[in-house]
Structure 1
Amino acid sequence: MSPARERVWHFLAGASFAFGGWYLTWRWTQSLNPDNLVFSVLVASAETLFFVGTLLTFFDIWREQDSPRTPAPRTRKEAALDDACDAIVVDVFIATFDETCAVVGPTVEAAVGLQAPENTVVRVHILDDGNRLEMEQLAGRFGVGYITRCDNVGFKAGNLRNALFQTSGDFVLICDADTRVFPEFLENTLGYFRDSKVAWVQTPHWFYDIPEGETWEDWAGRHTRHFPNAIARFMRFATARSRVGNDPFLSDPTLFFDVILRRRNRNGAAFCCGAGSVHRREAIFSQAIDQKAKDLNVLTDRHGFSGCAQALSCVRLEPYRFHVSEDIYTSILLHENRDAEWKSVFHPKVEARMLSPWSMKAWATQRLKYGGGTFDIMLRDNPLWRRGMSWQAKLHYAATFWSYLSVLWVPILLLAPVAALLFGLSPVSAYSAEFFLYFVPAILITEAATVVACKGYNVGKGRALALATLPLNLRALWLAICGERPSFPTTPKSPGNAGAWKFVWPNIALISLMVMAGTWGVFQTVRGVDGFGLSMLAVNLFWLVWNISLNGHLVLAAFWKPMSVLQRSNHKETEDENAYSSPST
């Protein structure tokens, strides 16, 4: 972000705060509708909570401040390890459970091709939680380590823990089964560890296989002979998308990594996102030892264990906390360690490529896992109540939790126009000129601030994703409240959209309800029914169309299918299966 753009962003953010506060003050003091007081208070409360989320987001992304880049350390002393002249050792962990050799093979090949900095030794290990012969053979063909275990306790965290106890590298590079690192990865990231307080370095996730789709003109030409250009123009306007089938599952994470996580770096509070991260072994184990000591104290106080051995037998040493979201959980535990003063670094340059979800099931599995892990941490081990964490880091984590908690008030804002047009309810005393005087500047300035802050990225995709994941996050919240711990299913890597409708029916039902409400509202306005008017109809129809367009993204994904298996050419499933599964290769 250029200095000029940052100044504009900060000015608009301040104006957004002022106009938003001005609007809400008027909203609570002068605009509540006494005839529909409960409905009016509900909507005003949802608007207020939404405004709080906006403020947290603005703090989250306030300033872009990257850590200084330095060359990779050439000695152990430069890496803040010790004064010895021995080589620096980096273990590369490739975690897998049920992925095929076609997926894991290219990942291993990329890891073997890493360029080791001077005086650095790289050791690659396949961490196979599936305990499969073909994976052991794959490791043998590449000459890399093969580590497995007899159970799957702790999911991915348990898999990483098992590998840590069987290796001895000074640093650990974590890869998922589909994380294909670039050769310069270590050269570009190890330099940050010259600072002895850096616990881990996170790099952006880049899904290199996201479908680009086709133009609406080509799409219309394939489906009709009549007026293809007019149809293309209409579809481009109606969907607000330049291409059909482009990123159907809203998987592109660039906005999150290059805006949100990157700007948390200014406070050393960018959390770990698992794959594509490098960790200092000392930090991992220091956190685990501290946590075990705390657990021992709790057990001793709660159960009155008489002997240390009895208590020790009940507490495991967990270098990565056994949890479905072990990455963010470990981040929290390290960020709260005030004595060690561990901090994280976000490295803004893409250093690896990964596979995106290519089916509705894969997308839903991934999103439910994210939501379930976040809600479980928030309800049972919330970092906001921890003493050691800085207030800046707490606000960054609060922004994450608040975005997930929006499932409690976003439905109110979604259904408010529906209720208004179906039953003639109004959340404000009147849709007068005064209402537009307060509301329009607040919403337009906030929108302008968001667009400028996000450097031109498509913010509409983020909003569409928030609505698309609403049913999944509601389910995740309910399971967390009921005490059901989230599971860790692997994300399917194969194309296909069978059974997609079971994931999108809530969105289809909501869109249908909105269309019905809009139609009914127009009908009642034409009839001149009391409670309906042109200004009321215009405002609520605007929000209905807005909400329908956002909800429609996921519904369109249910119709999406690859034009052919070969469209996923970056995966090369058939070729890879032959290359990495044949013992003669």
Structure 2
Amino acid sequence: MTKPYFEQFSHRQAPIYAPLGSCRRWVWNFLAGATIAAGAAYLHWRWTASLNSDAFVFSVCVATAESLFFLGTSLFYFDIWDEGDTPFGAVWDDNPWRTPQSTTTTVDIFVTTYDEPLDVVGPSLEAAAAVYVPDGVRVRVCLLDDGDRAGMALEADRRGISYFARQTNEGFKAGNLRHALLRTSGDFVVICDADTRLLPSFLQNTMGYFRDPNVAWVQTPHWFYDLPEGESWHRWVTRQSPRWIRACPRTARWCSRVIARVLTWMSGKNRVGRDPFLSDPSVFFDVIQRRRNRNGASFCCGAASIHRREAVFDAALRDKTQSVSKAAAKSRLNTQACLSAHPLQPYRFHVSEDLYTSILIHADQAARWTSVYHPQVEARMLSPWCMTAWAAQRLKYAGGTFDIAIWDNPLFRKGLNWRQKLHYGATFWSYLSILWAPVLLLAPVVSLATGWAPVSAFSVEFFQRFLPAVVLGELAMVAACKGHAIGAGRVMAVVALPVQLRALYCVLRRQTPQFAPTPKLPNAGGTPNMRHVWPHVTLLGVMGGAAVLGVWQTAQHVPGYSASLLWVNLFWLGVNMSFVVRAVQMARWRPPAHLSQDHTTVSQQSTTEVQHVAHSYSN
């Protein structure tokens, strides 16, 4: 039997995320303030002195998009202004939740699954059973199989763990969790996805936070330990070389070295194929989530989190009571009928049940529940390894976030303080940027195709006001992100545009976002699936055509065209195209041959998973 592909990465050690140093914090805060000041000055000049009257509508559209992005930058700077890690307390000393009747604290570890193969679920169960148990704590491992599979039941029985299955999939993952919660009694609940492999230190390093009786949950970072490291440019060039060159080893080696050096210089990277789907979540967890903790606004991300059962049910009961009261008053039905129509939802039945439930608990003023973000990795997980998996994952993220932002926005919910609202608002604003991002993405295309300039002139004054804001912003991000790669987020914002626009369209039509699980297999999707990137290919064609047209029109001295308009827009067009082309590279990426072999236990699952997710993405 062939080992699962991810076993070849088991030797990798989890990263250690250091806190933001005082010197770096000072530099970051200074640069952030300078960026805001330079950006505000630029926009004031932009609106008062630079609008192009010859292309007024186009100029106003671009200036509006720039202003909206500036507002998003300001929200983001507030989001990550400073760290505020929660002090940690030992779990086994003077536990405040112990009572004379029960001196043992119980913890249920839930491993949720739907159609993931045993090759994926098995290591998660093994890791859960191997977690170090602190003194005075009793652990129960539970397999929550929403696929109701006989094989999983037998595996649970073989391992001596509890097994829960349902006849229906109401509420999907949230419903699966509720089904198990109503049949267990642990004081605390650990949530794991099918691929979540807890580290032995998980309980030891998280339960101490619950010494504070108001802590409702503790979230830990997601670490994708299977991210492809890629290969050196030299090796990649050697593989791509034609046979007639490889027939001459000395010539092949010399050519490969020269081309590899050129590609390294052009790309700024010494390897190709590293993290092909831009899945590394370090910036989100170590920068954004960690710094939201200072205001108690780090939301739950589902897997690798631990929850106080009392808090989960307390918030659910309050939410149910409010929903029943509103429904009874609106429909004039009796209370019993409303109770039946609104089932208890410890985790809200939603594609983003973790984010939704976080909002409900944070907004519960009566209970004063708080959350904690633990900054160090305590679990390992699997990343998407095909375009179909990536598209399904991004569709769910965007659909769930848009659904909450549009139909139950926490900014209008009582209970959240203004700081928490700004943090949640920053999340929603980043997704809503898909409404104005296309304006800046297509602005060079419009300029090169029509000769319209978004500013009155690309003069020295323009660059004197524009460049300081851009340069200071880049330096601020470098200082803020502690060495994490910052370019991937910008590329992802462009690459994910079609998926996010589709998610917004579905939400506006009141179509429930799909809950299809994300396949995480090397062979998922089969051959390169270009249907996910046809908008990107089309856009690249339009951009290339605009570049050719702009050069031709400038060479012909067509009125409206100038050398400055041509070169400025060609530069930004090249930058934008480098982002868009990344989507095509993602779709064409294939795992290394030694990792893409069919595995005995996963090959039969792969086709079903991919078809299910592809259907949810395309319909």
Q: Using structure 1 for the length normalisation, give the TM-score.
A: 0.95
CA contact (8 A) 1:56 1:399 kept: yes
* CA 1:168–1:440: 2 relative to 1, 3 Å: same
Q: Which of 295, 306, 319 is residue 267 of structure 1 equivalent to?
A: 295
* CA 1:517–1:491: 2 relative to 1, 3 Å: same
Q: Offset at 1:73?
A: 3.6
Q: Count residues in correspondence.
A: 572
In structure 1, the residue matched to 2:43 is 24
In structure 2, the residue matched to 1:39 is 58
CA contact (8 A) 1:101 1:577 kept: no
Secondary structure at 1:313 match in 2:
helix
In structure 1, the residue matched to 2:138 is 121
- How many Å separate the matches in 2 of 1:73 and 1:507? 55
In structure 2, the residue matched to 1:254 is 282
Q: Which moved more, 1:165-174 or 1:500-509?
A: 500-509
Q: Offset at 1:523?
A: 2.3
Secondary structure at 2:341 match in 1:
coil
- How many Å separate the matches in 1 of 2:296 and 2:439? 36
In structure 2, the residue matched to 1:414 is 441
Secondary structure at 2:140 match in 1:
strand
In structure 2, the residue matched to 1:202 is 219
In structure 2, the residue matched to 1:461 is 488
Q: Which moved more, 1:227-236 or 1:107-116?
A: 227-236
- How many Å separate the matches in 1 of 2:99 and 2:535? 57
- How many Å separate the matches in 2 of 1:82 and 1:412? 61
Q: Which moved more, 1:548-557 or 1:117-126?
A: 548-557
- Report whether the alignment pairs 1:533 with 2:562: yes
Q: Offset at 1:242?
A: 2.7
Deviation readout 1:523-572 (Å, 9 max, x if unpaired): 2222222212222122111111111111222211122111224379xxx9
Q: Offset at 1:69?
A: 1.7
Q: Which amino acid aligns with 1:520?
A: L
- Report whether the alignment pairs 1:294 with 2:338: no
- How many Å separate the matches in 2 of 1:26 and 1:83? 69
* CA 1:520–1:240: 2 relative to 1, 3 Å: farther
In structure 2, the residue matched to 1:582 is none
Within 5 Å, give how 1:541-556 maps onto structure 2: 541-556=570-585
Within 5 Å, give how 1:58-207 maps onto structure 2: 58-74=77-93, 78-80=95-97, 82-207=99-224
In structure 1, the residue matched to 2:374 is 347
- How many Å separate the matches in 1 of 2:470 and 2:603? 52
Q: Which amino acid aligns with 1:51?
A: F
- Report whether the alignment pairs 1:361 with 2:388: yes
CA contact (8 A) 2:68 2:436 kept: yes
Within 5 Å, give how 1:459-538 maps onto structure 2: 459-496=486-523, 497=525, 498=527, 500-538=529-567
Q: Which of 557, 577, 584 is residue 586 of structure 2 equivalent to?
A: 557
- Report whether the alignment pairs 1:235 with 2:263: yes
* CA 1:232–1:192: 2 relative to 1, 3 Å: same
CA contact (8 A) 2:130 2:200 kept: yes
Within 5 Å, give how 1:216-227 maps onto structure 2: 216-224=233-241, 225=245, 227=255
* CA 1:70–1:520: 2 relative to 1, 3 Å: same
Secondary structure at 2:111 match in 1:
strand
- How many Å separate the matches in 2 of 1:337 and 1:5? 36
* CA 1:182–1:29: 2 relative to 1, 3 Å: same
Q: Which moved more, 1:478-487 or 1:552-561?
A: 552-561
Q: Which amino acid aligns with 2:549?
A: W
- Unpaired runs of 5+ residues, structure 2, are 1-19, 246-251, 605-619
Q: Which amino acid aligns with 1:397?
A: Y
Deviation readout 1:321-371 (Å, 9 max, x if unpaired): 000100000000001111211111111110010010001000100000000
In structure 2, the residue matched to 1:14 is 33
* CA 1:549–1:238: 2 relative to 1, 3 Å: farther
- How many Å separate the matches in 2 of 1:37 and 1:123? 66
- How many Å separate the matches in 1 of 2:401 and 2:448? 36
Q: Using structure 2 for the length normalisation, give the TM-score.
A: 0.90
CA contact (8 A) 2:134 2:203 kept: yes
Q: Which of 304, 309, 327 is residue 276 of structure 1 equivalent to?
A: 304
- How many Å separate the matches in 2 of 1:344 and 1:223? 51
- How many Å separate the matches in 2 of 1:45 and 1:144? 57
CA contact (8 A) 2:351 2:515 kept: yes
Q: Percent identity?
A: 53
Q: Offset at 1:315?
A: 1.7
Q: Which of 458, 462, 466 is residue 435 of structure 1 equivalent to?
A: 462
* CA 1:480–1:576: 2 relative to 1, 3 Å: closer
* CA 1:36–1:81: 2 relative to 1, 3 Å: farther
CA contact (8 A) 1:94 1:174 kept: yes
Deviation readout 1:366-387 (Å, 9 max, x if unpaired): 0000000000111111100011
Q: Which moved more, 1:213-222 or 1:515-524?
A: 515-524
Q: Offset at 1:312?
A: 1.8
Q: Offset at 1:236?
A: 3.0
* CA 1:190–1:525: 2 relative to 1, 3 Å: same
- Unpaired runs of 5+ residues, structure 1, are 579-585
- How many Å separate the matches in 1 of 2:375 and 2:222? 10
CA contact (8 A) 2:216 2:311 kept: yes
CA contact (8 A) 1:324 1:369 kept: yes
CA contact (8 A) 1:12 1:445 kept: yes
- How many Å separate the matches in 2 of 1:444 and 1:247? 27
Q: Offset at 1:177?
A: 0.2
- How many Å separate the matches in 1 of 2:98 and 2:82? 32
Secondary structure at 1:147 match in 2:
strand
- How many Å separate the matches in 2 of 1:236 and 1:46? 34
Secondary structure at 2:306 match in 1:
strand
- Report whether the alignment pairs 1:391 with 2:418: yes
Q: Offset at 1:308?
A: 2.7
Q: Which amino acid aligns with 1:46?
A: A
CA contact (8 A) 1:248 1:554 kept: no
Q: Offset at 1:103?
A: 0.6
CA contact (8 A) 2:117 2:601 kept: no
CA RMSD, 1 decimal = 1.7
Q: Which amino acid aligns with 2:70?
A: F
Q: Which of 70, 88, 92 is residue 51 of structure 1 equivalent to?
A: 70
